[in-house]
Structure 1
Amino acid sequence: MDHPRFASFSIGPRKGYGLIVAGGVIDLSARFAGRFPTLKEVVEAGAFGELLATAAGQKPDHALDEITYEIPIPAPEKIICVGVNFPDRNAEYKDGQAAPANPSLFIRFPRSFTGHDRPLIRPPESPQLDYEGEIVIVIGKGGRRIAEADALSHIAALSLCNEGTIRDWVRHAKFNVTQGKNFDRSGSIGPWLVPYADESQLADIRLETRVNGDVRQSDRTGRMTFSFRKIIAYISTFTTLVPGDVIVTGTPTGAGARFDPPIWLKPGDVVEVEAEGIGTLRNTIADEV
């Protein structure tokens, strides 16, 4: 079954959102901008169904080659990322420590991401741009101290992330990774939001990252150290989750840093992150100018 795909996009200076269909995009922002300026407000109102009903039978307003993809939620209150969340990832650190009882977390800022089919930017400060393919969950119903049993009901939509990282900059201090995770446009989110319907969309789907067609990362969500339920419950213990919050849920083993010698991304490379039922997020690499 094909799931609906809602994308944020720009055409020249105008930003909008719509439903991706065969042959293009139905511009729903042109019809709903007064009520829902962006997909964040659509998520908050639980209005995907209303948008789908309006789009039924409509022809595309724009061809896909007319639009530039933007990150789906343009200004989330929070982007929280989970580190070391697949079994083999803990072993990669070679520190002799068992898998932790709780997830490692860090924050990213919206401008550290770009959209689908746009280049990830390698900064002049370092050549060590690396990829991390991940599944994104977008919160639709806020809450604090959410029980694991109820956690999935708080999800509005799914997306994908290439959680691009400047590796040597995550080692600039003893404990934090913030610097290496927040260079402008070093990562991507997209291509779109897929509304969340039921647990089968997340339970045991394949997540794969390819660089120039070569598979570098491949695993299944059923093997995650911390489940989607656990992640939502844990984060909501210390901070109130609100509609539009973005949670990036962890990457499998196989990032470029783990090769000997490491293989960093360079201009001309094409990175694809694919997950069953969600789609494929594709980006090239370019140097900052």
Structure 2
Amino acid sequence: MRFATYSSDNETYYGAVTDAGMIALSHLFPQWPTLYDVMSANALDTLVSASRDHPVTHTEYVYEMVMPNAPRILCVGVNFPDRNAEYNDGSAQPKYMSLFPRFASGFTGHDRNLVRPPENHTLDYEGEVAIVIGKGGRRISQENAYDHIAALTLCNEGTIRDWVRHAKFNVTQGKNWDCSGAIGPWLVPFTDASQLDDARIITRVNGEVRQDDVLSRMMFPIRREIEYISTFMTLKPGDVIVTGTPTGAGARFDPPRYLKPGDVVEIEVEGIGTLRNGIEDEQV
């Protein structure tokens, strides 16, 4: 089962994704006006049940960012060993993970264009798995961490590379340009550890494989991410953790291979789906 946010006829809905089209569910649950509200209520199972009893309502639609009002999106940086080696600083695996926030305004939906701003053309891709918290908690153990995941999705954690170098201690400004990344296409309910432990993530640009790795090689596995993050902040239902990208981003080529209008980026994880985005220049 898959659940998406989408637009049709100038209205925005959430619903179940089928091969024949969308089954609108948002009108059935006015107490949960968005998928974020569904996740905050830990009510994804209710959508699963409802989708079995209703027909397709929309065959023409446009995907939106899957949780466009998500208030807390936290990203894990430099989380694969080959990615750490790219920095050529001789450092071993760090003791603690790198973290930074992203805001929902920086993301668009599946089959929508990422936007390259006129101020800088170093727009880069980063294919990642994102998890959505379904059960909140503080100081969650690794042993129990997966019990707190409700759903999985994909993220192109697009970055304006030059702008992450504007300051000494943060990358926030390079990570939050409007519509520079994407989250989607949909939420897939998390039911089994194999969805993450055995997952292989592949990123293609114009059909060429640029990133290819398995989540089991993460320096900080998702169980550890949940444990560590929940130590300093109480995780809440609806929180999103973007878990880290493999080696192969455009900045690490010589010369760099940044994204340009007309390019198409695809991020694929079996069992979750494929997130696809084109590139366009911002109209100013």
TM-score scaled by structure 2?
0.97
Unaligned runs of 5+ in 1: none
- Aligned pair 1:152/2:149, yes or no? no
Q: Does the alignment pair 1:142 with 2:136?
A: yes
State the distance in 1 between where 2:8 and 2:58 align. Answer: 9
8 A contact 2:201–2:214 mirrored in 1: yes
Question: Residue 227 in 1 paired to residue 221 in 2?
Answer: yes
Aligned mates of 1:142, 1:61 — CA distance in 2:
33
Shift of 1:46: 2.7
CA distance in 2, matches of 1:52, 1:182: 32
**1:190-232 Cα shifts (integer Å, max 9, x gaps):** 0000011121110121100000000000000111111111001
1:54 corresponds to 2:28: no
Q: 1:27 aligns with which of 24, 29, 32?
A: 24
| Other-structure match for 2:280 | 286
**Aligned runs of 1:113-152 on 2, under 5 Å?**
113-152=107-146
Q: Which residue is 1:109 aligned to?
A: 103
Whole-Å Cα distance in 2 between the matches of residues 230 and 237 of structure 1?
Answer: 11
Shift of 1:101: 1.2
Root-mean-square deviation (CA, aligned residues, Å) is 1.0
- Is 1:251 the counterpart of 2:245? The answer is yes
CA drift at 1:48? 2.3
Distance 2:65 2:152 in 1: 13
Q: Deviation at 1:242? A: 0.7
Match of 2:6 in 1: 9
Counterpart of 2:39 in 1: which secondary structure?
helix
C-alpha distance after superposition, 1:27-56 (max 9, x if no partner): 011222x12111112222332222222221
Name the aligned partner's letter for residue 264 of structure 1: Y
Query: What secondary structure sits across from 2:120 in the alignment?
Result: coil
> Number of paired residues?
283
The farther-off stretch of 13-22 and 182-191 is 13-22
**Mapped partners of 1:59, 1:77: distance in 2:** 32
Which of 159-168 and 195-204 deviates more? 195-204
For 1:148, what is the secondary structure of its paired residue? Answer: coil
Q: Alpha-carbon deviation of 1:78?
A: 0.8
Q: Which amino acid aligns with 1:175?
A: F
Question: How far off its partner does 1:59 sit?
Answer: 2.3
Deviates more, 1:53-62 or 1:191-200: 53-62
Identity %: 63
In structure 2, C-alpha distance between the alignment counterparts of 1:233 and 1:36, rounded to whole Å: 28
Aligned residue for 1:144, secondary structure, equals coil
Match of 1:229, SS state, is helix
Paired amino acid for 2:161: R
Q: Distance in 2 between matches of 1:235 and 1:268?
A: 38
Q: Give the drift of 1:57.
A: 4.7
Q: Secondary structure at the match of 2:237?
A: coil
